[in-house]
Amino acid sequence: MAASEANSDSLTGQSGEDPLVGILERLDARLSSEAEISELPELQNPVAIERDASGIPHIKALNLKDAAFAQGYVHAQDRLFQIDLARRFASGRLSEVFGADTLNSDRFYRTLGLSQLAATAYQNLAPEAKAAIDAYSAGVNAYLATNPDLPPEFQALGYQPEPWQPTDTLVIAQEQNRIGVTDGEELDRARLLERGLSRDRIEKLINPYPEDAPTILQPEDIQPSTASIGQRELQGAIAKLPQENSLKMEMMEEVETLFSNPIEASNNWVISGSRTTTGKPFLANDPHLPLQEPSLWYQSHLETPEDEVIGVSFPGIPGILIGRNQDIAWGVTNTQVDGEDYYLLDETENGSGYVYRGEVRPYQIREETIQVRGAEPVSLPVQETVYGPVVSDLVGINQPIALQSIALQPVDGTVESALGIIQAQNWQEFREALDFDDAASAQSQNFVYADVDGNIGYIAAAKFPIRQPDHSGLYPVPGTGEFDWRGFIPFEEAPQVYNPESGFIVTANNKLTPANYPYEINGNFAVPYRAERIRELILSKDKLSLEDMQAIQLDQVSLLYRDFRPILERLEPISEAGQTWRDRLLAWDGDTQPDSVEASVFEAWYTELTRLPAAEVGQEYFDRPIFLSQAIQAGDPVLDRPGSEPGLFDEAARALEDAIERLGEPIRAWGDIHRASFVPSNPAQTSPNLQVSYGGDRYTVNIGPYNASDFSMEAGPSYRQIVDLSNPENSLYVNPPGQSSNPDSENFDDQLPLWQRGDYLPMTTEDYPLVELAVLLPEQSG
């Protein structure tokens, strides 16, 4: 929902005072005389933009509308190429700049139709959100109009950025919402089904969430409900699927990547004052996303007479998406909820329509034309159905299949919710900002909350489909109408808790709800190691300090190691080197620090173990640790190599030998072979990536996911934040590699060393070093 009526004046700002005096009264006199002053059309009131030593803008405005204008201005100033690329990516317009190399990506996004959805969503926006987006767009365009010297990427690629449109903001928001939604691994299951595997075997491979693993909500958090318990057996839920294995899966790797979130990870947690040394809550968040230069995030501080907020925004979108104001703090992780389904269509013989509820429905055809640099335009007719677009070509299935997704909706509550959260002063106002029953937001995020009065809370802000009793969402189903969604879980009954008995809440993309929750919620829930480790560390002390919060966020003890240690204990090494390293690994504590040589051997050994299912699943590395651990210890015969002894401990011993051979001599420390790499957002850039030594693995709290073929790490903690609600000015954050996209700027990578060694910047709205000042003034008429 948008900001409350009581706060609506803060968007437009009504004041009888001289606004320039109010904005500039606290500025340093020496710098104010040297300030860069710009007169800009469409700006309603003066705005001051202070820069601190890290290049973070502190925006002082009379109202949130002017603050949004200034935020658009500084996003363009620091990240112009990044935001232009983001809108092109989500709109399916990369090929206009990069040629035929990006056609697959453009076909994907043109098929989804995010641009059309954004255009409709703009018309459906509440007035406050529309005013903020309009102001933001005007700010971007004001920078473009007054700064003809473009970043070098535009010159290198030979094109000029177009004026920013409000729908550009919404198409970026649509894409960010889309990658937060999962398909419940339907395509993975369908691919295994096509390989001839039984459904029972598939469910062992893609194993369900362990019954004893932690869920976000605890059983005591569930309130009595009039809804009936919706848990159902898997076999019943898939009983009506076509029995023949007729789905031919030939999806291209590039498009498969577009459909999937490359990393199923983020952490946030909140601890009540009853468990802290300050008597007030702590809140921590570190979203795990691709590591890029420049950062995916942009630090900002926005201040008006009514509101003050600091945190990170997403370039291209106004507001603060993760952060704090003077009263509350919040953080987000992906819910990993299954909000997408694939429907197999019964197409007519002439291919012009499909049978739905006993009647022939004609396809609605949307004609798309993709402009391709250096080549002829490409025509793309897109077939639309009652469920959504036909995506057969994208997923490589040999029959018509349509995608229904909570993210492909002609509404978007991202900016509306952000405005409400910025202005929220308590739990009730925070909840109202996330109430998606009216806003129909496509967000799918776990929000944790804390306030200065000592309260903590959690809300899963998502549209949770209610499926038919015999449809789990785990496999594609016939699109005849019998498996249609029955609606969505009402907001009041969505997973949420306020001041839980436990005194803390942890979300790490783990399962949301325990068995006594009254609805079935499926999803691609992460292996629970991170959630288990965070809970373990929280419960290890009676009272936790700010330093303890940092230690938790930086922890790299691998619970993956704990799960696979029993295998090490039982295997018989093949060689003397194998014996030596087995003994060293058994004496190790599982802490995958960059200087650990044991971490190198363990991670290489585990990677070799992920090869065992290759023949069965048709995938070189099958990273399913719970399945692998159970299968090896149980002696799963399918994984036995031909000609080997029965049982899999000999395979585990051979994997250790292969790992040692792969690493060579001398075996280097983990951080020497496992390096965090920040990939340029410009795909045409040829300069080397920023790289630093790093620890962790895919399952540590301080995550270090890596490519199995070379141990390179291109995703991880993209931002870290810890908020101290006893003194919000004592809060911390860091945003690698830095604020600026200009490699010549000292703020390009100045936060990278902090991030690497586990340090932070003060998340302060006061007493920051002022090194630069810009004043934006309304253009004088006449």
**What's the whole-number mean pLDDT along residues 543-567?**
98
Whether the pLDDT of residue 256 is over 60: the answer is no
Amino acid 518: pLDDT: 95
Whether the pLDDT of residue 442 is over 80: the answer is no
- How many residues make up the chain in this entry? 782
- CATH at residue 380: 3.60.20
Contacts with 642 (C-beta within 8 Å, 6 or more apart), sequence order: none
Whether the pLDDT of residue 158 is over 90: the answer is yes
The whole domain housing 379 covers 186-290+332-553
List the one residue out of 58, 74, 1 whose CA is nearest residue 26. Answer: 58
Residue with more model confidence, 286 or 27: 286
Whether the pLDDT of residue 112 is over 80: the answer is yes
**What's the whole-number mean pLDDT along residues 145-163?**
94
Query: What residue type is 269 in one-letter code?
Result: W
The model's pTM: 0.93
Judge if 522 and 574 occupy the same domain.
no
> Could you tell me the CA-to-CA distances from 661 to 418, 574, 601 in Å, in that order?
52, 13, 10
**What's the whole-number mean pLDDT along residues 674-682?**
92
248 φ, ψ (degrees, to nearest 5): -95, 110
Q: Is residue 312 part of a domain?
A: no
Q: Are 672 and 710 within 8 A, CB to CB?
A: no
30-54 pLDDT, tens digit each: 455 578 899 998 899 999 999 999 9
Whether the pLDDT of residue 28 is over 60: the answer is no
**What's the whole-number mean pLDDT along residues 592-609?**
99
Return d(Cα 45, Cα 27) in angstroms, integer: 17
Whether the pLDDT of residue 242 is over 60: the answer is no
Alpha helices (H) in 320-475, listed in sequence order: 392-395, 414-423, 427-433, 436-439
328 φ, ψ (degrees, to nearest 5): -135, 165
Judge if 226 and 264 occupy the same domain.
yes
Judge if 503 and 394 occupy the same domain.
yes
Give the confidence band of 21 by pLDDT, cuts at 50, 70, 90: low
Amino acid 762: pLDDT: 98
- Binding site for Ca(2+), residues? 186, 338, 341
Q: Is residue 450 part of a domain?
A: yes
Query: What residue type is 342 in one-letter code?
Result: Y
Q: Is residue 110 part of a domain?
A: no
Judge if 542 and 632 occupy the same domain.
no
Alpha helices (H) in 514-644, listed in sequence order: 529-539, 546-553, 559-570, 576-587, 597-609, 614-617, 625-634
Q: Are 149 and 88 within 8 A, CB to CB?
A: no
Amino acid 25: pLDDT: 59
CA atoms within 13 A on the CB side of 525: 24
Judge if 340 and 467 occupy the same domain.
yes
Residue with more model confidence, 235 or 328: 328
Amino acid 261: pLDDT: 47
Whether the pLDDT of residue 248 is over 70: the answer is no
Whether the pLDDT of residue 425 is over 90: the answer is yes
Judge if 544 and 669 occupy the same domain.
no
Return d(Cα 597, Cα 588) in angstroms, integer: 10
Name the percent of the chain lying above pLDDT 70: 88
List the one residue out of 703, 688, 695, 700 whose CA is nearest residue 749. Answer: 688
122-133 pLDDT, tens digit each: 999 999 999 999
Q: Is residue 657 part of a domain?
A: yes
Judge if 197 and 215 occupy the same domain.
yes
Q: Is residue 262 part of a domain?
A: yes
Q: Are 107 and 395 within 8 A, CB to CB?
A: no
**What's the whole-number mean pLDDT along residues 537-543?**
98
Q: Are 728 and 766 within 8 A, CB to CB?
A: no
Averaged pLDDT score across all residues of the chain: 90
Per residue, the 3-state secondary structure of 166-223, as one string, reads: HHHHHHHHHHHHHHCCECCCHHHHHHHHHCCCCHHHHHHHCCCCCCCCCCCCCHHHCC
Amino acid 644: pLDDT: 67
For 205: left if phi > 0, alpha if psi spans -120 to 50, otherwise beta; the answer is alpha
Domain termination residue (choose one: 553, 588, 618) = 553
How many domains does the structure of the chain reveal? 2
**What's the whole-number mean pLDDT along residues 295-299?**
98
Give the confidence band of 247 by pLDDT, cuts at 50, 70, 90: low
Amino acid 604: pLDDT: 99
Judge if 520 and 582 occupy the same domain.
no
Enzyme catalytic residues:
266
Query: What residue type is 308 in one-letter code?
Result: E
Q: Is residue 489 part of a domain?
A: yes
Judge if 533 and 563 occupy the same domain.
no
**DSSP category for residue 406:** T
Give the confidence band of 208 by pLDDT, cuts at 50, 70, 90: confident
**Extended beta strands in 399-535, E state:** 401-405, 445-451, 456-461, 477-478, 496-498, 504-507
DSSP per residue, 52-120:
-TT--EEEE-SSHHHHHHHHHHHHHHHHHHHHHHHHHHHHT-THHHHGGGGHHHHHHHHHHTHHHHHHH
Domain termination residue (choose one: 610, 645, 673) = 673
Count Cβ atoms within 10 A of the Cβ of residue 178 and give its class: 0-12 exposed, 13-18 middle, 19 or more buried. buried
DSSP per residue, 308-356:
EEEEEE-TTS-S-SEEEESSEEEEEEE--BB-EEEEE--B-TTSSEEEE
Name the percent of the chain lying above pLDDT 90: 80
Return d(Cα 367, Cα 401) in angstroms, integer: 19
Q: Is residue 274 part of a domain?
A: yes
- Binding site, residues? 186, 338, 341
Whether the pLDDT of residue 29 is over 70: the answer is no
Whether the pLDDT of residue 270 is over 70: the answer is yes
- CATH at residue 621: 1.10.1400.10
Domain termination residue (choose one: 514, 534, 553) = 553
DSSP per residue, 617-652:
HT-S----HHHHHHHHHHT-GGGSPTTSPSSSHHHH
Judge if 546 and 568 occupy the same domain.
no
Judge if 567 and 549 occupy the same domain.
no
Contacts with 21 (C-beta within 8 Å, 6 or more apart), sequence order: none
**What's the whole-number mean pLDDT along residues 24-31?**
51
Q: Is residue 77 part of a domain?
A: no
Judge if 500 and 516 occupy the same domain.
yes
Local structure of 51: helix, strand or coil:
strand
73-106 pLDDT, tens digit each: 999 999 999 999 999 999 999 999 999 999 999 9
Amino acid 11: pLDDT: 52
Whether the pLDDT of residue 14 is over 50: the answer is no
Whether the pLDDT of residue 405 is over 70: the answer is yes
Contacts with 318 (C-beta within 8 Å, 6 or more apart), sequence order: 68, 71, 72, 132, 133, 135, 136, 169, 415, 418
